[in-house]
Amino acid sequence: MEIRVQNLGPEQWHGDVLLAPACKGESLPQSCPALDRAAPWLSVAPGLRDFAGKDGELALLHGHPELAVPRVLAVGLGSRSQADAACVRRAVASGLRFCRKKGYASVVLPEVLLAGLCGGRERLLEESVCAALLALHRPALLKKPDPDEPAEPQWLAVAFDPADMPRDGQAAVRRGEHAAWAVNLARDLAAMPANRLSPALLAERAQRVARENGLICTVLDAAELEREGLGCLLAVGQGSARAPRLIVLEHAPTGHEEERPIVFVGKGITFDSGGLCLKPSANMAQMKGDMAGAAVVLATLAAVAKEGIARRVLGLLPCADNMPGGAAMRPGDVVCAANGDSVEIVNTDAEGRLALCDALVYAQKHWNLSALVDIVTLTGACAVALGPELAGLFTDDNSLAERIRAAGGSAGEEYWPLPLWKPYAKILKSEVADICHTGPREGGAINAALFLQHFVREDVRWAHLDIAGVDWTDKAESLTGVGPTGFGVRTLINLAAGGVE
């Protein structure tokens, strides 16, 4: 769907349907004179009598088909005092889904209807555009199209009142578009069946995305990983016929080439079978999405480049396939991490932290970083603790924690702090090696985070985001269908845009 901007008075608004977010207990034509001018029949429309403006409520009103605006779709926001960005996102998303179901080709959203809500005009504009594009997203179909499905909406026009344009209106629309494009890219990648997305293919895709958006992309193959000493990442990939890769992406705008970069690291397990400690078969298919973190980082870097954010940002994607082939790592094996520490492998299903620890070391060795943030589908324990809406946030750096929570919160991605409880570090002591990579089930998300922290120098500003549980949804919502959610992309874009200082 194309996003258009119209600088036309209400008399010239046109399209198949006008999308009208409305608050509870407020009559549409009275509360918005511009709308009354665009669709004068609204004031006598009987359908409006039943519309209360409750959160999530929809009412479709028909006028004369030859009027410039033949239909109005009213979408409820709930009471004005509580109508925030989240309500606007949901309202626009469910409105757009309704339009698609009806087969409407063109939708007009008058910006004036957002102008009076709390949250700031530009911001609500960005959220609306983003929500519309997220709501209509469907991962690339690998089946033949259904001839009975109505065609997708062709365009959404944001109609500005030429007499009252918000200063940053166009840029806000663009930001919403870029953010949605990136979230949808991350969703597409995570939805890709594992047979169609190996570490090497993900690297090719990253190179293409980099080329198209002006990022620098370097890919380390197995031989180079060997030379760099990334023994843990290599161990994870050993059981697969498809060798690991480390993908490095860089956004270094002119004048910022030598700046201390923000580095994002995303887990890129293209399939997590559990390895020799094989997972149960129920839900194993979902483990094609165990590269959600890598997808989020790749999509973020592309969006950061599209936005031309004036800051140096890097993305590291350690990619491997966790399979139980004949050369697979075994429980009891001892491998060597990139920092020289020997690591005892206990459970081959705890592969994420192995891939990650080497990437964290690599990042600290090669760059003088301003912050290091990893995003990982790391532990079922985190999903059990926080449920389907909250991601786990681990850091000892309070100001970085606040930055991340604010960056996520404004986009509807929420994080809850979990502790890096130092006394539990003794759990990771090994009889035979410098460190053991798994602790008991109890406190599983914390144990994993402490393992990662072992590889981060104390002077480095580091945060770990555990997105297991929020990366995927089994229930379709207004903004997300069943499958990968792309959770984290908007957080990282906002974090990069706002900086970490």
**Residue corresponding to tokens 């602790």:** 439
The residue from 205, 312, 353, 461 that is catalytic is 353
Q: How far is the CB of 258 from Mn ion (least distance, A)?
A: 38
Burial of 432 (0-12, 13-18, 19+ CB in 10 A): exposed
Q: 268-307 mask for ligand BES (x: CB under 6 A)?
A: ----x-----------------x-----------------
Among Mn ion, ligand BES, Zn ion, none, residue 468 binds (CB under 5-8 Å by kind) = ligand BES
Residue among 19 and 448 whose Cβ is closer to ligand BES: 448
Q: How far is the CB of 349 from Mn ion (least distance, A)?
A: 4
**3-class SS of residue 7:** strand
Check binding of 27 to ligand BES (CB under 6 A): no
Check binding of 374 to ligand BES (CB under 6 A): no
Q: How far is the CB of 468 from Zn ion (least distance, A)?
A: 8
Check binding of 53 to ligand BES (CB under 6 A): no
Residues 121-140 that bind Zn ion (CB under 5 A): none
> Which residues 6+ apart lie within 8 Å of 321 measured at CB?
194, 198, 199, 237, 239, 240, 242, 244, 269, 270, 271
Q: Please give the backbone phi and psi of residue 49, each rounded to the nearest 5 degrees, phi first.
A: -65, -30
Residue among 153 and 486 whose Cβ is closer to ligand BES: 486
**Binding residue for ligand BES, selected from 157, 252, 381, 391, defined by CB under 6 A:** 381
Stretch that binds ligand BES, among 8-16, 183-191, 349-357, 417-425 (CB under 6 A): 349-357
How many C-beta atoms surround the C-beta of residue 164 within 10 A? 11
Point out which residues pair with 249 in neighbouring strands.
217, 315
Residue among 124 and 287 whose Cβ is closer to Zn ion: 287
Q: 279-318 mask for Zn ion (x: CB under 5 A)?
A: -----------x----------------------------
Which positions touch Mn ion (CB under 5 A)?
A: 272, 349, 351
What is the Cα gyration radius of the chain? Answer: 24
Closest CA to 486 of 294, 240, 286: 294
The residue from 37, 279, 330, 405 that is catalytic is 279
Check binding of 438 to ligand BES (CB under 6 A): yes
Q: How far is the CB of 274 from Mn ion (least distance, A)?
A: 6
Pair of tokens at residue 236: 């994870």
> Which residues 6+ apart lie within 8 Å of 338 measured at CB?
228, 229, 230, 231, 232, 357, 358, 361, 362, 365
Q: Please give the backbone phi and psi of residue 420, each rounded to the nearest 5 degrees, phi first.
A: -90, 75
Is 353 part of the annotated catalytic residue set?
Answer: yes
- Per the CB < 8 A criterion, the answer to whether 466 and 394 are in contact is yes
- Per the CB < 8 A criterion, the answer to whether 404 and 415 are in contact is yes
> Which residues 6+ apart lie within 8 Å of 316 measured at CB?
246, 247, 248, 249, 263, 264, 265, 266, 297, 359, 362, 363
Q: How far is the CB of 350 from Mn ion (least distance, A)?
A: 6
Q: 243-272 mask for ligand BES (x: CB under 6 A)?
A: -----------------------------x
Check binding of 99 to ligand BES (CB under 6 A): no
CA angle 389, 206, 290 (to 5 degrees): 35
Is 102 part of the annotated catalytic residue set?
Answer: no
**Residue corresponding to tokens 């663009």:** 174
Check binding of 321 to Zn ion (CB under 5 A): no
Q: Round to whole Å and give the CA distance between 65 and 16.
A: 9
Q: How far is the CB of 438 from ligand BES (least distance, A)?
A: 5
Contacts with Zn ion by CB under 5 A lie at 269, 272, 290, 352
Contacts with ligand BES by CB under 6 A lie at 272, 290, 347, 349-352, 377, 379-381, 383, 438, 444, 468
Q: Which residues are catalytic?
A: 279, 353
